[in-house]
Amino acid sequence: MTDTLSKATAPEGDLAAYPMPRAQGCPFDPPTELGRRRAEEPISRVRIWDGSTPWLVTGYEHQRAVLADPRFSANPDHPGYPYTTASVKARRQGNPTFITMDNPEHDRYRRMFTRDFMIKRVEALRLHIQSIVDGLIDDMVAQGPTADLVQALALPVPSLVICELLGVPYADHEFFQQRTRLMIARDTDPGASVTATRELAEYLTELIRRKEADPTDDLLGRLVLDQVRPGNISLEQAANAALLLLVAGHETTANMIALGTLALLRNPDQLALVRDTEDSKVIANAVEEMLRYLTIVHNGRRRVALEDAEIGGQLIRAGEGVILTNDSGNRDPGAFPGDPDQLDVLREARHHVAFGYGIHQCLGQPLARVELQVVYGTLYRRLPKLALAVPFDDVRFKDDMLVYGVHALPVTW
Amino acid sequence: MKVLIDQDRCVGSGQCVLAAPTVFDQRDEDGIVVLITDTPSAEAFDGTREAARICPALAIEVDES
């Protein structure tokens, strides 16, 4: 009892800062402190960049409970919402997208976009995605003997696919990739983040205007016909949704491709299992395990309590912020028996929370899965001698970005 | 086994279709869940239970009473 009391009344000045650094030499593992908290104080406070002290929820079941509970809001306009960085806060503006809406608004807006990401429509893209991947590997090999896998394959694959799906010219990829980098860098000056976001929104607004005049058969073209023209959604809302889909559609999968490849190169027995299989189910299972093991959204999902709610015996009061660390949830031995810190591509891991959980779980997950299945199922078979072209210690990890990965991955084959 | 779905809750994540493709499908116009059958055959029991467990919107209920 005294323990509980002393924790509850500990001076807030003693609170650990979040996010905390990863342990030296363990770039694939969440910070050690998250694992300690998950075992010892699974719902406990931290201090974040603005001095506020939200709750950190570190275990798998508690995270699912909060993310599925409508008493916890994803809308940053509610006081107490724990913004990720000053830049993320600064670029918050009008015309929100479904990612920051609660129900019933959320479902109404999300459903304007679900059609293009349903399983059968994404499956129909598989052969085309395969030809994109084959072509990029051909180009990389032709230009060898070394390459940066990020620039040669990891970024182009999802960028090409999301551009075609949305109807955004891929020729503009340097423009949107550069602004995306500014948006997701943790230390971007808030002013630069606002400018990058505005430039991207203006670019997409102009693109959608052109589609209004001359409709195209792609997601944004159909959005104009089905939703903008009837007045279900404003042009500005459509542009902000396009921005969300474009950014989330390329940066996340790109990091899974490059970081996943590095993780497999560091675990040769696991790489062999992926490389040597003829079974698409083994590849699909490996993708789920890689999503779990790497959990690239590594700065926590954010919510704020709208009313008092008890989670795992802990009272969270209305107006208090909550951070769900899905990276530690995905290493929870209660949900992933055996050694969850071990990459095991044969593990049953489909229940991971790498895409989040609750109504906001990733819209594009079927597309991400097919892209990763095609890349993992092709790259290592085509290049069985694939290897890192620099010492492992020279690889720069994206501790400075909101989405984890590697800044570059020099490889040889 | 009897399967119940709540289309109002569904967010179109597609998880159920991947877990139990003989039981769940998605509506062509908006990707919302539809049932192929509400009484799965025995070989689809595990996939159906998994679909209910991983559905992010809690839109699937499995009655095994």
Across the beta sheet with A55-57, the strand order is: A43-45, A55-57, A321-324, A301-305, A72-73
Interface size between A and B, measured as CB pairs under 8 A: 66
Q: Which amino acid is at A251?
A: E
Distance (Å, rounded) from C-alpha A237 to C-alpha A99? 12
User: Measured between beta carbons, which residues in chain A are less than 8 angstroms from residue B56?
Assistant: 67-68, 355-359, 361
Q: Name which of A150, A58, A122, A12 is nearest A334 in CA terms.
A: A58
Q: How distant, in Å, are the alpha carbons of A29, A185, A271, A353 from that of A328?
A: 9, 22, 24, 10
Structure tokens at A347: 């593990």
The CA angle A250-A123-B12, to the nearest 5 degrees, is 75
Distance (Å, rounded) from C-alpha A331 to C-alpha A244? 28
Give the DSSP letter of residue A319.
T
CB A109 within 8 A of CB B30: no
Check A357 against B19: CB less than 8 A apart. no
Check A356 against B18: CB less than 8 A apart. no
pLDDT score at B65:
85
Check A358 against B18: CB less than 8 A apart. no
Which of B13, B30, B50 is the closest to A365 by Cβ?
B13
Q: Name which of A326, A250, A288, A293 is nearest A58 in CA terms.
A: A326
User: Measured between beta carbons, which residues in chain B are less than 8 angstroms from residue A67?
Assistant: 56
Best A99, A352, A361, A367 residue to mutate vs chain B (most B CBs within 10 Å): A361
**CA distance, residue A205 to nearest chain B CA (Å):** 24
pLDDT score at A188:
87
pLDDT score at A13:
63
Which of B18, B19, B30 is the closest to A114 by Cβ?
B30
Give first-to-last CA distance, chain B, whole Å: 8
Give first-to-last CA distance, chain A, whole Å: 60
Q: How distant, in Å, are the alpha carbons of A199, A394, A407 from that of A185?
A: 16, 20, 12
**CA distance, residue B21 to nearest chain A CA (Å):** 10
A219 Cβ neighbours under 8 A, 6+ residues apart: A113, A116, A165, A166, A167, A245
pLDDT score at A1:
38
Q: Name which of A34, A72, A83 is nearest A330 in CA terms.
A: A34
pLDDT score at A55:
98
Question: Which residue ranges in chain A fall short of pLDDT 70?
Answer: 1-13
Is B26 in a helix, a strand, or coil?
Answer: strand
Question: Which residue ranges in chain B fall short of pLDDT 70?
Answer: none
Check B56 against A359: CB less than 8 A apart. yes
pLDDT score at A12:
58
Q: Name which of A44, A33, A30 is nearest A312 in CA terms.
A: A44
Distance (Å, rounded) from C-alpha A344 to C-alpha A289? 7
Best B22, B23, B26 residue to mutate vs chain A (most A CBs within 10 Å): B26
Check B57 against A359: CB less than 8 A apart. yes
Cβ of residue A363 closer than 8 Å to a chain B Cβ? yes
Distance (Å, rounded) from C-alpha A43 to C-alpha A63? 10
Which of B19, B28, B56 is the closest to A361 by Cβ?
B56
Query: Residues 19 to 48 of B: which have CB under 8 A from any A CB?
Result: 19, 26, 28-32
Distance (Å, rounded) from C-alpha A27 to C-alpha A343? 13
Check A356 against B30: CB less than 8 A apart. no
